[in-house]
Amino acid sequence: MTAAGSSTSSAFPPAIELRGINKHFGPVQANRDVDLTVPVGTIHGIVGENGAGKSTLMSILYGFYQADSGVIEVGGQVCPIHGPEYALAAGIGMVHQHFMLVDIFTVLENILLGAEGGALLGPGMAAARAEIARLEADYGLEVDPDALVGDLAVGLRQRVELLKALYRGANILILDEPTGVLTPQEAERLFEILTAMRDRGVTIILITHKLQEIMAITDNVSVMRAGQMVAHRETAQTTREELAELMVGRQVLLRVEKSAADPGDVVLHADGLSLIDDAGVLRLDGVSLDLRAGEIVGIAGVTGNGQSELLEVLSGIRPPSRGRLSVHDRVIDHDHPCEPEEMRDLNLAHVPEDRQRMGMISAFAAWETAILGYHRDPAYTGPILLKTDAIVEDTDGKMDRFDVRPANPQLTSDSFSGGNQQKLVLAREIERRPDILLVGQPTRGVDIGAIEFIHRQLIEMRHAGCAVLLVSVELEEILSLSDRILVMFEGRIVGEVAAADADAQMIGLMMANAHETENAAANG
Amino acid sequence: MKKLLTILNASAVLLAATATVALAADKMPAVVFDMGGKFDKSFNQGVYDGVEKFRKETGMKYREFEVKNPTQREQAVRKMAQRGSDPVLGVGFAQASAIEKGAKAFPDTRFAIIDMVVMQPNVQSIVFKEHEGSFLVGVLAAMASKTGKVGFVGGMDIPLIRRFECGYIHGVKHAMASATVYANMTGTTPSAWNDPTKGAELAKSQFDRGADVIFAAAGGTGIGVYQAAKDNGKYAIGVDSNQNHLHPGTMLTSMLKRVDVAAYNTFKSASDGSWKSGIQVLGLKEGGIDWALDEHNRDLITPAMKAAVDKAKADIIAGKIMVHDYMSDNKCPK
Amino acid sequence: MRTKQKMPPQMANGSAKLPTWVDIGLLPLINVALAFVVSGLLIATLGQDPFEATWIMLRGAFGYEESLGYTFYYTTNFIFTGLAVAVAFHGGLFNIGGEGQAYIGGLGVAIACLALDQYLPFGLLLPICVLAAALFGAGWAFIPAYLQAKRGSHVVITTIMFNFIAASLMVYLLVNVVIKPGQMSPESREFASSAWLPYMHEALAWFGWEVAQSPLNLSLIGALVCCVLVWGLIWHTRWGYEIRAVGANAEAAVYAGISPSKIIILAMCISGALSGFVGINELMGVQHRLLLDFAAGYGFTGIAVSLMGRNHPVGIILAGLLFGALYQGGAELAFENSAFSPDLIVVIQGLVVLFSGALSYMLRGPMERLYLRLRPPPPPPIASVEA
C-alpha cells in the first residue's frame, strides 16, 4: 500500500485530505485505513470494483455516514462532517448517479431548492438567475433556466445537478458514475465542462468503473479494492491494464477473444412490433428483426429508447400492441399473446436488464432466486411441496460452475455482490440450454473480474448454437461481443451494422440519431 | 413456565383467601355494563346513575365491569358471583344468556337483568313497556303538530327501537288518524347511538318535509335532533330520562323509561330484604314508564293535550287501549 | 432529500447484522418491556400502583386454570386473524378486512349450523361448518381481491369498506332475518348441541384431566393446525413461493411467469378463510348462536399480532399469546380495580402495538451498535469475499 499523496506538488494545502478512514457495517469492513489526498484544482479519479468501498468513502466525505475513525481535512483544516449540510458548508457538492431533481419544477426552481434564501422566492430567483448566467458563461453549462426539468434530456439534467452544486458555492465536486446514462457525445461534452471547471480551480472527484474515462480526463487516480486504497497513480504514468490489474488484484483480459460466427436458421422473427404503453405512449415503433442460431445480435442505444420494452415483448412479459413475433413455429401477436411461462417452454431464456427489479427477488434465498421462472418444473416441485433439498443441491452446483461467491444457497439474494447476483441469474438461464437467450445489460454493476467471465459464457452459448440477443448501454461491450449490431432510437431500429464494420463513433452518432437528422437536413 | 405457574397459583390462592375473608364481611352488589360502556349517554349510563344514587344514599360500594366482547359477558357475570357479589345486575338484553348461565351455576346468588326476561328462580327480570310511553308522546306530538306531520328518529335499527316507533305511530294515529309519520333510523351499527350530526341531519330532512314534532329514541344521537328542533323552531321529544331541560321551549316533552329507578330499586330491595325474583314489567301502571311534565314544558302542553294524554294513559292502564308491542310478533300493524 | 439517497449495498442488507436470537427474541422482548414501562408511568400518574397492576394482569392471564383458558381462547382468535394478515402480507397485500371476513365467516358457520343442526351429527356438521367458515370468509375477501387484481382498487381501502358493509349486513340479517322471533336481542336461536364444539375442559375430562371451565375449546387445536399448514404453504409449496414472489417483487414475479392478479386473489381468499375460522371458535365454540359483534375487534388485533409475530406462524402464536394475555389480564385488571377502565386497558394494548409494531425498528440501530461493541471486530476483510 502506497503512502497517501500524489506527485502533484503544490504550495496550497490539498483540497481534500482523508487519513485513516475506517467504516464498517456490521461484519463488513467497507473502508479500512483509507488515506486520500486530492490537490486543489485537479480531477481525481477513484476506481474500484463494485463493493470496493468507493461509494462508502464518498458518502463519508459528503456526510451521509460518519466514519468509525479517521480524519477529514478540507483545505488544510480538520473538518468534521456530520451531515450533508456540513459538507455543503465546507464547499463540497455531490452529483449522484440518480439525479435528485423535481421533474415538475423548472431548472431555476430546482437549483434554488434548499437554498431559497428567504421566505419569498422572488429575490432569490433573481439573484440565482444572474448567478446561473455567470456559471454558464464560465463553464459552458448551457441550460434554459425556465425549462421544466421533466422535459430535459438526461445530459441536460446532469448539468442542472452540476449547477445546483456550484450555486451552493461548491468548489469540490464529487461525481458518482456520471456517464452511466449519457451517450458518448454527451459524455464528451461533460468532460469538456469538467475540464473547464478544473481550469478555474474547481476540484473534482470522479468515481467511475470505466477505465477509458479515467485515462481521458483525470490528473490522478486512486484505486480501491476490498475497502482499502491499494494504489495512487498519476494518470499519465499508468495504463488501463495496470489499473485493471490493481482493481481486480490479478491480470485481466480486457478484449474478448472470439472466433467468427456461423449463423444458422432464423429462430426468432419479429415483424413490425409496436408497443403502446398504459399511458398511451408509443414505446416500440415497428421493430423488425431476425435472430439466427449461433449469432450474437447486439442492440445499442441510449437508455430509454425502447430496448427495455423490446426485451419485455420478446420475452412475453408484454404482448405487442401491433405486429407479429414468431418464436420457432409459434406466432405471437396482440390477440395471441404468449406468457413468459410459455416462452420458457419454447426454450427462450431471458436475463433481464435490471436483476434487482426483475431478475431476482432480493428477500429470497439464493436457492429460491435460482429457480425463479422454473419453479413449476417437476424437478423442483412435487404435486404440493417444493423439493427444497433438490433445489438447494442444484443451486449448489450452479454456484460452483459459475463461481458464485460466497457459495451458500441459503444466503438471501441481496447479500451477494452485483457480479455474483448476475452470475446466479445467468447460471439459472444458461443452464436451461436455451435456443434463444435474451440478455439485458449483462455486466451492469458487475466488477471487472466477473465481466470477463460473463462475456465468456455468452460467447460459449453462441458456440453451442444459441441465438443471443444482447442489449447493453456499454458500447464497448456491444462492439466486442456482437456479430451484428442494431441501433435503437425512440423505439425504432435506426440502423444495422455488421460488427466488423462498426466503430464507437459511428454507433454513437446513430444512437443520437444524428446521421439521420443530417441526412434529413441534406435531403431537405 | 411450570414453576412460574406454580408460584402464580400459590399466590393466587393466597390472594383469593384474603379476598374471601374480606368479602365475607359485606356482600357487595355488582353491575355488569354492556358493550358501549357506562358513559354511553344512554341506557348503560341510566343504570350507572341509579347504582351511583344507591351508593351515595346507602354508602354501600358495588363492583362493576364493562364488557368489551360478547364472551366477557358470561365471564364477568360468573366472576361477580364467584366473588360473592349479590345481587348481580346485568344491563341490557344481550346479557340474558350470560345471566341465565350464571344463575344456574350460582343458585344461591341473586341476579337481575334489565330489558329481558330470564326464567330462573333466582333472577329478577325487569322489562319496560316502551310502547306505552311512546304511545303517549305520540298523542302529544299529534296534538302539538300544526302540519299534521310528525317525525321519529331511531338510533340503531333493532327491534327494541322499532317497538318505540310502533307505539309512537299508534299514539299519533290515535290522536289524529290522518297524521303522517316520517320515521328514520340513524344506522345499523352501535355508532348510531352516538351520532348527533346524523341525528340533526335526519331531523332537518324531516322538518323540510313538513314535520314539526320529532321524537328521538336514539341515545346520544338525540342531542342533535333536539338541537335541530331548537334551531328550526320546531318541537322535539326526549327519551329515557327527562330531557326537557335541554332546550326549554322546544322540548315538547320526554318519554321516561326509568332504568335508573329500576337499577336503584334492585340494589335497594336486595339490601333491605324486599327483593323478589320473577318478572317485573314496568309500564305506565307501575311507574317505570311515563311522560315528563315539568316547569320547562308546562307552557307547551295545553289543557286539551294534557286531558287527552291523561285519558290515554288511564285507558292504557285500565286495558281499554291495547298498544301493540312490536316485539311480540316483529310487526307493526298499520 | 437525504432519505432518498441510494444506499450502498452494505446498508441494504443491514438486517443480517444481528443474530437471529437478538432479532426475533431479544428485540421484541425489549419492545414489550418498554411498552410496559410507559404503561407503568401512565398508571402511576393516575395514582395507581403499576407493580400491583402488572401483577394483577399477569395473574389474571396465567395465574389459574380458568384464566389460562380465557387467555388461550383469545389466543385462538388471534392466531386465526394473525395468520390471515400474514398470508396476505406475504403476497404484498395489507388485508385489514379481517374483522369483516371473520364476521361473515361466522355467518357461514351460523347458516350451516341453523340449517343442519337438527339433521346431522357433530362429526358431519363440523367439516361442513369449517368449510362454510372458510368459504364465506374467503368470499368476503374475494371481492376486494378481485377489485385489486382486475381494477386496481386499493385493497386497503376496499377491505376497510368491507368491514363496514359486513357489519351493516350482519345487523340487517340479525334484525330482520335470522333473529329468533319474539326475542329482544338480535340473535339467532341457540344451535342444537350437535353444533357445539367441545370445550377444552370437556375434552380434557375425557382423558380424566379435570380443569376449570372456560370458553377455550377445540378450536385452539384447529388454530395450531392452521399454523403448520400456513407455514408449509408459505415456505414449502410453489403457491407459497409464488405468493412471496409477488409480495416481494411483483415485476420479478411477472418475469417468472406468475400472474399477480391470480396470486392476489389466491392470497386474499386464503387470508379471508383463515379469518373466517374465528366464526368457528366464537359461534360453535363459545356463543352457540349468531349474535352481533362477536368479532369484537379480533380482526383488527390480528394486524398487530401478525406485525409483531413477523408474519411467521411461530411469531404469531407468541404474539397471539401476548395479546390473549393482554385481553384477559386487562379484563381482570378492570375487574379488580374499577380505576382501570377498559379504555386504559386499550391504551396499554395500544402501547404494546406501538412499541413492538410501529416502533419495532427504533431500537434496532442502538442494539446493533451495542452488539457490535460487545463483540470483537470480525476477522479482516470480509468485503473481499463479496468481490
pLDDT in tens, C201-246: 999 999 999 998 899 999 999 999 999 999 999 999 999 999 999 9
Q: Do B65 and C334 touch (CB under 8 A)?
A: yes
Alpha carbon of residue C232 to chain centroid: 18
- Chain B residue at shortest CA distance from C174: B158
pLDDT at C379 over 70: no
Torsion over CA of C66, C71, C76 and C81, rounded to 10 degrees? 150
Of C62, C63, C184, the CB nearest to B115: C184
The whole-angstrom separation of Cα C275 and Cα C297 is 12
- Per CB-CB distance under 8 Å, the chain A contacts of C236 are 385-386, 388
Question: Quick one: what percent of chain B has pLDDT higher than 70?
Answer: 91
Chain C CB contacts of B12 below 8 Å: 59, 63-64
Q: What is the value of ipTM here, to two decimals? A: 0.81
3-state secondary structure of A22: strand
Q: Do A364 and C245 touch (CB under 8 A)?
A: yes
User: What is the Cα–Cα distance from A335 to A60, expressed in whole angstroms?
Assistant: 54
Domain A1-91+171-249, architecture per CATH: 3-Layer(aba) Sandwich (3.40)
**Which residues in chain A touch residue C234, judged by CB atoms under 8 angstroms apart?**
none
Average pLDDT over residues A269-295: 91
Could A373 and C254 be called an inter-chain contact, meaning their C-beta atoms sit closer than 8 Å? no
| Tens digit of each residue's pLDDT (9 = 90 or more) over B69-115 | 888 999 999 999 988 899 999 998 889 889 999 999 999 999 999 98
3-state SS of A24-76 is: EECCEEEEEEEEEEECCCCEEEEEECCCCCHHHHHHHHHCCCCCCEEEEEECC
Query: Do residue A97 and residue C236 have CB atoms under 8 angstroms apart?
Result: no
Question: CATH for B131-257+290-329?
Answer: 3.40.50.2300
> Is pLDDT above 60 for C383?
no
Q: What is the pLDDT of residue A92?
A: 92
The verdict on C69 touching B (C-beta cutoff 8 Å) is no
**Which pLDDT band holds residue C7 (cuts at 50, 70, 90)?**
very low
Top pLDDT among C40 and A513 is at C40
C-alpha cell at A196: 473547464
Selected for mutation to probe chain C from B69, B73, B127 (highest C CB count within 10 Å) is: B69
Distance from CA of B227 to the nearest CA of C (A): 27
List CB contacts (< 8 A) between B160 and chain C.
Answer: 184
Structure confidence by residue, pLDDT tens digits, B25-78: 357 899 999 887 888 766 788 899 999 999 999 999 999 998 888 889 999 999
Question: A345: nearest CA in chain C?
Answer: C257
pLDDT, residue B316, reads 94
Does residue A3 carry a pLDDT above 50? no
> CATH assignment of A266-357+434-523?
3.40.50.300
Calpha distance B38→B46 (Å, rounded): 8
> In this complex, which of A25, A361, A381 lies closest to C238 when CB atoms are compared?
A381
Q: Give the span between the Cα atoms of C70 and B72, in whole angstroms.
A: 9
Please check whether residue A203 is in contact with residue A6, taking contact to mean a CB–CB distance below 8 angstroms: no
* pLDDT of A294 strictly over 90: yes
Q: Which amino acid is at B141?
A: A
Q: What is the pLDDT of residue A426?
A: 93
Cβ pair B243, B228 in contact under 8 A: no
Contact B330 C335 (CB under 8 A): no
- Closest residue by Cα to residue A156 from A137, A136, A176, A172: A136
Residue B301 is predicted with a pLDDT of 93
Model confidence, pTM:
0.78
Q: Lowest mean pLDDT: which of B2-11, B311-320, C350-359?
A: B2-11
Confidence of residue C120 (pLDDT cuts 50, 70, 90): very high
- The whole-angstrom separation of Cα B257 and Cα A220 is 93
C-alpha span between B14 and B182 (Å, rounded): 62
Q: Which of B4, B11, B23, B188 to mutate to test the interface with C (most CBs of C within 10 A)?
A: B188
Provide the pLDDT confidence category of residue B21 given band limits of 50, 70 and 90.
very low
pLDDT band of residue A4 (cuts 50, 70, 90) is very low
Q: Supply C231's cell numbers.
A: 407455514
Tally DSSP H helices, then E strands, for chain B: 11, 12
CA-based nearest distance A376→chain C, Å = 7
The residue that leads in pLDDT, B6 or A406, is A406
Contacts of residue C98, defined as CB under 8 A and 6 or more positions apart, other chains included, come to C81, C84, C85, C271, C275, C298, C299, C300, C302, C303
Q: Judge whether B332 is closer than 8 Å to chain C, CB to CB.
A: no
Q: Which fold has domain C60-199+213-364?
A: ABC transporter involved in vitamin B12 uptake, BtuC (1.10.3470)
Q: Which CATH number does B2-128 carry? A: 3.40.50.2300
Nearest-Å Rg of the Cα atoms of chain A is 25
CB contact under 8 A, B93 and C185: yes
- Please determine, for residue A7, whether its predicted confidence score (pLDDT) is greater than 60: no
Predicted confidence band at A145 (pLDDT cuts at 50, 70, 90)?
confident
Strand partners for A71: A19
Query: Of the ranges A30-39, A53-62, A206-215, C372-381, which is most confident?
Result: A30-39
pLDDT grade for C145, boundaries at 50, 70 and 90:
very high
B189 secondary structure, DSSP code: S
Give the N- to C-terminal CA distance of chain A in Å, as an integer. Answer: 61
Residue C85 has pLDDT above 60, yes or no: yes
Q: Does C257 touch chain A (CB under 8 A)?
A: yes
pLDDT at res. A520: 46
Interchain proximity B188–C172, CB inside 8 Å? yes
Q: Is A492 helix (H, G, I), strand (E, B) or coil?
A: strand
**Which of C4, C253, C387 lies nearest to residue A417, judging by beta carbons?**
C387
The 10s digit of each residue's pLDDT in B118-157 is 999 999 999 999 999 999 999 999 999 999 999 999 988 8
Altogether, the residues listed in chain B come to a count of 334
Q: Count the Cβ atoms, other than its own, within 10 Å of residue A436.
A: 22
| Residues whose CB is less than 8 angstroms from the CB of residue A10 and which lie 6 or more positions away in sequence, other chains included | A39, A40
Contact assignment for C293 to B35 by CB distance below 8 Å? yes
Segment A181-191 mean pLDDT: 81
What Å distances lie between residue B57 and B50, B51, C153, CA to CA? Answer: 11, 10, 60
Q: Tell me which of A494 and C387 has the higher pLDDT.
A: A494
Domain residues of chain B, as ranges? Answer: 2-128, 131-257+290-329
DSSP secondary structure code for residue A449 in this structure: H
* Average per-residue pLDDT for chain C: 86
Q: pLDDT averaged over chain A?
A: 86
Mean pLDDT of C192-200: 94
**What is the predicted pLDDT for the residue at C222?**
96
Tell me whether the CATH fold assigned to B2-128 matches the one assigned to B131-257+290-329.
yes
**Confidence class for position A183, pLDDT limits 50, 70, 90:** confident
CB contact under 8 A, B4 and C62: yes
What pLDDT, on a 0 to 100 scale, did the predictor assign at position C59?
92
Q: The cell 352516538 sits on which residue?
A: B194
Q: Which residue of A has its CA nearest to C4?
A: A100
Task: Write the pLDDT tens digit of every residue in A313-322.
Answer: 999 999 999 9
How high is the pLDDT of residue B14?
A: 41
C172 touches B at CB < 8 Å: yes
Q: Could B8 and C62 be called an inter-chain contact, meaning their C-beta atoms sit closer than 8 Å?
A: yes
**Residue whose C-alpha is closest to residue C356's, from C307, C320, C284:** C307
3-state secondary structure of C296: coil
A456-480 pLDDT, tens digit each:
999 999 999 999 999 988 788 888 8
What value does the mean pLDDT take over residues A193-210?
A: 88
**Rounded mean pLDDT of chain B?**
87
* A476: helix, strand or coil: helix
Average pLDDT over residues C20-27: 74
Q: Where in chain A is the domain with CATH 3.40.50.300?
A: 1-91+171-249, 266-357+434-523
pLDDT digits (tens, 9 = 90+) for C322-368: 999 999 998 888 888 877 877 788 888 888 888 877 676 777 777 77
* CB spacing of C252 vs A381 below 8 angstroms: no
Q: Per residue in C55-66, pLDDT tens? A: 999 999 999 999
Residues of B in contact with C64 (CB under 8 A): 8-9, 12
